[in-house]
Amino acid sequence: MKTVKITLLALLAFVLLVGCAEQKPKNVIYLIGDGMGFGAVSSLLLSEDGETGFEMAPVIGLNETCSANNYVTDSPAGGTALATGTRTCNGFLGVGPDSVQLESILKKAQKMGKKTGIVVNTTLTEATPGAFYAGVTSRKESYKIAEQFTESGVDVAIGAGLSAFINRPDSVDMTAVLIEKGYDVYLDWKSVLNTESKKFVGILDMGDVHRRNKSRNTVASAADGAEVCLAAKLAASDGNMDSTRFSEPTEYLHKACEKALSVLDKDAPNGFFLMIESAIIDGYGHNNDSEGMIEEMKEFDQTLKTLIAYVNKHPNTLLVVTADHETGGTGVTYKSHAINQPDGLQLNFSTKGHTGTVVPVFAYGAGAEKFSGIFQNRELPGIIENLIK
Ligand SMILES: [Zn+2]
């Protein structure tokens, strides 16, 4: 009887230990919806009959989005707080109010031996991804941000924005710099989808990464001077420059996330850190575009569900979803909102700019419980760091 008791106790201790160990995430996915406040989230919840990815979240929190010098943050300062844990002045990216470079959670994850990735549906040098690897006092210095990207050490990056890499005041071909550093650099979607490379950068046409960018250039003329950059020359010699190699932009973000995950979780004994930005929610907020916002949130949900499916299959993964700020003062007001009216849900907007209202946080997987509560934006990277170190 005594032996049975001891065995049971040992079993209980084992179960508790395993249970505790499962709380420590090995992998982190950080999904940022630019400008995705409660109005944007409401637009999805009210227009979607089925269960959305937001409703699958076991843990929900609130996030205050002020910058160091304003209740209303811009994207560089908002991204910097979410990436580095420091609130900085509006306009500053990856540096503190004293202009000194900050260390992001992505860089810290690299030091812990994790593989890292960036997937965005905008340029790779935009403010939100830039906050994870760059340091400048103006987001307009995209050529500097592109150079800092080449020094970032990320294993996988997929986005747009070739121009900052090749049309530069210093005339340096940054695709050649990346290739020299051991990256495969792809300028077309099919090459990204089909690659077996463990270290690559996809720099696509803007029309490939979002349906709002209607004009589709041929890959060769995706940016002025593309034909003279090394990545384009290599692609031409491989026969990869024809226009059939475009993406279906409404499918882009979740497929790019799946691709990055498939590369990052291979040969990663210490796990990975992947940041993703869904960037265009902000634009629909700025334009006060109700239909566009609702459509965009449906696409966001597709990406979110892709990531939740990954977390469910890999329970040692933490997924944190939040926004850098709210845009548009987006809401649902009383007028003309009979349910089932022919033109459906119409959002209302109170500004063409950003607002200082709190934004939601949704967390899934290992360590998610730490994201219940009310936070300042700068607290999130520290919570992630404490979970993974
Ligand atoms: Zn904005």
CB 208 within 8 A of CB 249: yes
Domain containing 280 — which CATH number? Answer: 3.40.720.10
User: Residue 222: its pLDDT value, please?
Assistant: 45
Q: How far does CA 350 lie from the centroid of its chain?
A: 26
* Within-domain flag for 19: no
User: Residue 197: its pLDDT value, please?
Assistant: 96
User: Residue 9: its pLDDT value, please?
Assistant: 58
The phi and psi torsions of 156 (rounded to 5 degrees) equal -140, 135
If you measure from the C-alpha of residue 53 to the centroid of ligand 1, how many angstroms do you get, rounded to a whole number?
24
For the chain, the domain total comes to 1
Give tens-digit pLDDT for 14-24: 544 444 445 79
* Within-domain flag for 195: yes
* Within-domain flag for 36: yes
d(CA 3, CA 58): 39
* Within-domain flag for 145: yes
The range of the structural domain enclosing residue 309 comes to 26-336+343-388
* Within-domain flag for 59: yes
Give tens-digit pLDDT for 135-147: 999 878 999 999 9
User: Residue 20: its pLDDT value, please?
Assistant: 44
The pTM of the full predicted model, rounded to 2 decimals, is 0.91
If you measure from the C-alpha of residue 284 to the centroid of ligand 1, how many angstroms do you get, rounded to a whole number?
9
* Within-domain flag for 331: yes
User: Residue 223: its pLDDT value, please?
Assistant: 45
The phi and psi torsions of 197 (rounded to 5 degrees) equal -65, 145
Closest of 35, 34, 65, 76 to residue 351, by C-alpha: 35
If you measure from the C-alpha of residue 74 to the centroid of ligand 1, how many angstroms do you get, rounded to a whole number?
6
* Within-domain flag for 9: no
* Within-domain flag for 2: no
Residues in the chain: 389
User: Residue 337: its pLDDT value, please?
Assistant: 64
Q: Please identify every stretch of the chain with a pLDDT value under 70, giving residue numbers as ranges.
A: 1-22, 214-227, 240-244, 335-342
d(CA 106, CA 171): 29
User: Residue 264: its pLDDT value, please?
Assistant: 97
Query: What is the Cα Rg of the chain in Å?
Result: 21
If you measure from the C-alpha of residue 162 to the centroid of ligand 1, how many angstroms do you get, rounded to a whole number?
21
If you measure from the C-alpha of residue 376 to the centroid of ligand 1, how many angstroms do you get, rounded to a whole number?
19
Closest of 27, 33, 90, 18 to residue 298, by C-alpha: 33
d(CA 290, CA 345): 8
Question: What residues have a C-beta under 5 A from ligand 1, the ion?
Answer: 282
User: Residue 338: its pLDDT value, please?
Assistant: 66
